Amino acid sequence: MFNPLKTKTGWIILFSLIVAGIFVANFNPASLVGSQQKKNDALIAEQMAYHIGVLAYLYGYPIVDMHKQMHNETHQVAPGQQVYAPVNRLYRYPEIVGPGTAGNLRAPNNDTLYYSGWFDISEEPLIIHTPDTAGRYYTIAVTNLYSEVTHIGRRTTGTEEGYFALVAPNWRGKLPQGIRKINVESQQGWLLGRMLVEGAEDFDTAMGLVNAIWMAPLSEFTPGQHPPARGPVIAKPIDPLDSLDFFRVMNEKLKTLPPRPGEQAMMAQFDAINVGPGSKFDIAALSEAGRRGLERAVADGREIVDAATRRTIPDYNGWMISKDIGRYGFDYMHRASVARGGYGNLPEESLYPAMVFDGGGNLLDGARHYTLHFEPGQLPPANGFWSLAAYRLSDLQLEENTIGRYSIGDRTRGLRYNADGSLTLHLQHEQPEDEQANWLPVPTGYFMLVMRLYEPSAAALSNDYLLPGVKLAD
């Protein structure tokens, strides 16, 4: 019988089998399973953090942005800081807004005096006093952390002297007699007020009314008396919008907000990555994969928000009009884009038709001459007033001009109507040859037009009235 061990080849085969046997004896399938499981866990952790994190970024953007602005305007965070007032106190802009005096305001109006403040009603209501404005237009936009708005002012509460209490959902006390309750969904938020001013000659009267608006927590409230001043609070500025700190702030704020109908499943998803109201977000406890996913979510979420502010919305004769500002439902991207652009009033308080392109699809350019013509009886329908302003497209700010005119509208002195009752506005950088022309100076480069209709009529809100288009005059 053949014996393979008597051959060299046989011994080689036997040695190979022995080595293979040793390998098989030490082979552990569980080690491969464990390795694959780690890869699976990392993949799931990163992708879930990313995909849920992007939605969380869009949802939480106004919450975190308002936290940032509240900190930076209720603390002295920089030398020469323009806008500063402690929590539950008002800052009053000291002049009619013009080039270089807008502070953090974006595309500011030149028709009203501004006043603003940040409130915290987590412990008790905040009482707001408003004077009798004798019919003069004013408004206070009470904006909660979701960027949704309630108005105090001529349209909603009249112009007689009044006291209003901002009340959080968790407060169960009793208000003094004669104070009107304003329910606010969030414990913190922003107030932005506007008081009509009829030019420089009306400034002192209008500012006197602004100075008569004040607010105080209930425990400090005495009818007819301004609350005592508070000393400055020094701090470093914050900006959590571009870092993982975004989710820490969002997580903390969500814990203070009451659950909203229809959002329970989404909050459960947020909790799955520890940013929801039922979790505690801890940056230090993040896995490497989870951190990667959330960092990607912040970067891409910010890009989506920025893109949403630049997207084209339906226009009417070239005017872009959004009529759902201040009420967003489940449209979180739109809500974030409005917050990114500077917040706003409810449409029934004011409409803001805007234009950046001429009829040929080219950007509006200060090197060109344009006209805006209203046929007889077709002026913008507003129960308050209307005005038109032009802003640099680069930063949405006003630009200096030779006549110091930064808006034109139904209150502009010296408007010249045509023989048939129509009105033509001239929009250009240089003064028209006709010195009597209705001239709105525009910036030198690309610019944006914003028409404002304060207390717009039903026709404007329903699109039964449409603004005419802007036409090239050269």
Per-residue pLDDT, 17: 44
Residue type, 22: I
| CA gap 17, 23 in Å, rounded | 10
| CA gap 258, 262 in Å, rounded | 12
Number of other CB atoms surrounding residue 208 within 10 Å? 11
22 to 19, 27, 110, 308, 462: CA distances (angstroms): 5, 9, 87, 63, 83
Q: Is 54 helix (H, G, I), strand (E, B) or coil?
A: helix
Q: Which domains does the chain have, with CATH numbers?
A: 47-68+242-310 (1.10.3360), 90-220 (2.60.40.1610), 315-472 (2.60.120.600)
Per-residue pLDDT, 35: 82
Per-residue pLDDT, 29: 62
| CA gap 354, 346 in Å, rounded | 16
| CA gap 461, 474 in Å, rounded | 33
What would the two tokens of residue 46 be? 């990163």
Per-residue pLDDT, 23: 47
Question: 3-state SS of 5-26?
Answer: HHCHHHHHHHHHHHHHHHHHHH
- pTM higher than 0.85: yes
Per-residue pLDDT, 16: 53
**Strand residue runs (E) in 78-137:** 90-92, 112-120, 126-130
pLDDT along the chain (474 residues), means of 10: 52 47 53 76 93 98 97 95 94 91 82 96 98 98 96 98 96 95 97 95 97 97 90 94 98 96 97 97 97 98 90 81 87 92 88 90 95 97 96 93 95 94 97 94 96 96 94 86
CB 57 within 8 A of CB 332: no
| CA gap 362, 359 in Å, rounded | 7
